[in-house]
Structures are given as structure tokens and as C-alpha cells.
Structure 1
Amino acid sequence: MKVKGSLFIIIAILTVVLAGCGGNKSNQSNEKKSLSADMSNSSTSSSTSSSSSSSWSNYQYKVPKSVQKNADYVKNGDLSTKQQFTFDRFGTRQQLADVSTKPVDIKADQLTYKVNQVRVIKNTAKTPQAKEAAEQVLNLRNIPDTYYTFVLNYTVTNHHHFKIVLNGVDYVKTDQDQMLTTTNQLTDSSAGNKVGANRAVSFAMTGYLHNYASHPATKLTIQFGAIYTMNQKKVAASPDSTLTIDLR
């Protein structure tokens, strides 16, 4: 599934309290969920956003008319070519820096995890609201005015004969030795979501790329998490192997 022009993805509202889950995976604040939804131009099929908090619900950045006339400006956020850019509603200029559409997959515990697309986004905060929202969503104390993120779209196929519940991604590591988790610099829409028997569901994750301008990461290594039944019984722990993908 394609997430259009998204700097940040919707953080899934957990529908099941999973045994062994970390506190932050099952207790994301309502405001953070709302901010994540508002900073994304589309949602994943398995995610639901809460209503915007009162402190943010009325803010809407107005893109200058002179900027709208730029040939690289994409109003609907569907960035597909390098240098194209859009804006989220808080005033973050999101420009496509790189994109990889080479499918990569891994099979483990009767599940297939397939990465369909990964994009590198150059983000420039044009307003204080844009910086504050980004810091809350990515759990960063102080984010630069210009920074980079990756936006990764992937699909989970369940080959079991019963419905499962995902515990989300354990971590993502870059080849620059940066470690990202959902409590630090990473959002992932799969945590707490269900995948029916012999069905496939698409998700997305977004991560902060530290010092990308001067020391760009070129690879991501993803450790997917455990899976459970609807009754909170563990079906399988995290896969023994990880999935490595290229950012370029």
C-alpha cells in the first residue's frame, strides 16, 4: 500500500493488550496518535486515527501561492520523483530525496514480510508547530529545522489457518549504527493490528535518520516482532533472521 507524501504515519490504536508488550507500544497518548494522523496524507488499511486534540485541531498551514506554482510542488502529497515536494498541515516541507521500489521479503513462522517501497524524505520545518509535532511523534527532545526520515511501506501475509495479532517491529538499525525503536525515533502502524487467516495487510513505518546529510545511511536492518493469537497466546517469538533493505 502506498502512503502518499507522508513524513509520518498513523500510529495504530491497539485493539488487543498483548502479553509481553512494552508499555509504549500499548499506551501511545491520544495526542500523539492525533498528531501522527494529521502529519500523514493517507492512512493504512489497518489503522484508525483518533480525533485531533483541541490544541492542534484548528491549525492549518497555508502554502504560499508562489510555492504552489513551482513545477515540483505536489498538492496531494503523492511524491514519486526526486525533488518533488509537498507540505503537511503543520508546515513541514517534505521533499523526496531518494526512493527504492525493489521488493524484498523474508519468511518466518508462516508469515511473509514484504517491503514494497522505501523513501528518504528531506523535511524542513517552516513553523514552530511543525517542529513540535515532529518531536512528539518521533520522541525527540530537539529536532533540527531540516532533517531526514525514511518512510517504508510493507505487507504482512499470514499463512496460518487462524487470525493473528502483530506486536509491531522490535527495532530498525542503520548501517551508521543508529538504533531506532517505537519508543525512540520510530513509528510503526502494525503494532496491535490483526491479520486474518491466509490474508495480507499493508502497513508503514517512519524513522528519523540521524546526520543523514553528512553521513547518509544506505541500508536498514529490520527486526520484526512476536505474533499472538486473538486470546493473547504467543504463536511465535521474533523471527530468527532480520530483513535488510537498501535506501538507494
Structure 2
Amino acid sequence: MALGADLAVHDISEDAPAKYGEFPNLTAVADSMTTPSARAVAVTGDISQEDAVRAMVAKAEAALGPITILVNCAGGDIGAQGGKPDPNTALNFLLEDVQAIVNRNLIGTMLMSRAVAPGMAARQAGTIINISTVSAHMGAANETAYACAKAAVVHYTRCLAAELRTSGVRVNAVSPGPAKTARFLATRTVDPIMMEEGPSLNRYAVAEEIADVVGFLASEQSRFVSGQVLRVDGGANLFAA
């Protein structure tokens, strides 16, 4: 909104933002982002379901016009029953949890992109930003299904960028490290030292630091950047690729 875009904000249900005390409902989220110069609309649905994706895209475009920026940020290490999977390792897992994680992270990203990208390609303008995680770039004994699903999101980003390159549509990914979101703080044991804000990069990110990178990739400042992955972790993971 600060960069002047109208916004369709999504969650799986109207009351989902209340789970971690962020907002009472999704409509309140949209209302908080509405300004005299920018509109916001709330859309709900399961991004792993084709019919729901089509309905959400139709509602967003009916309210705001053609989608020119798509940020695929739904995801999370969330099992079939709604919480963190247990067990949750490379060899000890429940298949239903793996399927739920892959649906939420990879399949949802693919379905949303398939619903929106053809319109962008026809207009020869648009950008897609997929949210991954630093865990996608390293071996993870715990949260393995999540790490694997997000690694697939990274490679899907490259594949989609290759397909859309001649249409002028850019596709990039952002891989954040730990950030102080309401859900992160509610579901993790945090390190008090990492909670401290200041000049040191040895800390958790704040949400705005991730959003700023998404804003860059959505803007004309990155107009010749596509198929890339930006890790936003304060330099905590320094390795190639």
C-alpha cells in the first residue's frame, strides 16, 4: 500500500487472522490497509483447491482490476490437523502431514501462478514473487517436509521465470530467515538475545525488512531481475546458491 498498489489480501478463512491476535478478522486487515489513494479487498479460500483459487482471483479482479503483482506468501510448517507436525523429521513423519505441507506451500503457489500468470503474459506486464525460506537451501533434520516443499518453490520460481521470460513477466523468490511475526513468536521458543533490535545483524528480522525486499522485487527498480532468489537473513547463512 505504501508504494501505491491496491491490495487483495488473502487467508484461508475470514477469522484466521484472529488465531495469533493479529486482527479480529480478514476484513479488518483489509480495512487497515485502505487509504484515500489505495483500495484493499479481502478474499478467502484454500489455495490448494482449483475452484477456490479461480473464485479468489475472480473476486480480486472484479474489485480491483487485473492483477499485476502476485505475492505467493501462504505456507508454513502446518500439518494436517492445523498445528506443527509431530513427528516432523526426515524419517519420522506422517504422510498426511507431508501432503498438507506440500499442498499449502508448493501446490498453492503453482495454482495461484497458473491462475494469474496468463493474464500478465497477455498484457506483457507483471511480476510474481514467491516466498520460500532459508531452510530451502540447506539440509534440515527437523521440519524436513517444509524445507523440501519450499526448496521446490525455489525451483518452480526458476521454471516459471524461464517460461514467462519472453512475455516480460518477472518471477523471483524471497527466502527469509526467522522473523518476529505473531505466529513465529507464538509457536517457537525464542532466543532473547536474538529479539533485541539494533545495528547488529545477529537478530531476528522484523516483518518490514522482509516486506521491503518484496517491494523491491515488485517495483520497477528490479525491472531486469528475474529467476532469482534473495535470502533475507542478516547474513546468517553465507553459502553459494
Would you call these one fold, judging by a TM-score over 0.5? Answer: no
Which TM-score applies when normalising by structure 1? Answer: 0.29
RCO comparison, higher one (Cα < 8 Å, 6+): 1
Higher strand proportion (structure 1 or 2): 1
Higher helix proportion (structure 1 or 2): 2
Which TM-score applies when normalising by structure 2? Answer: 0.30
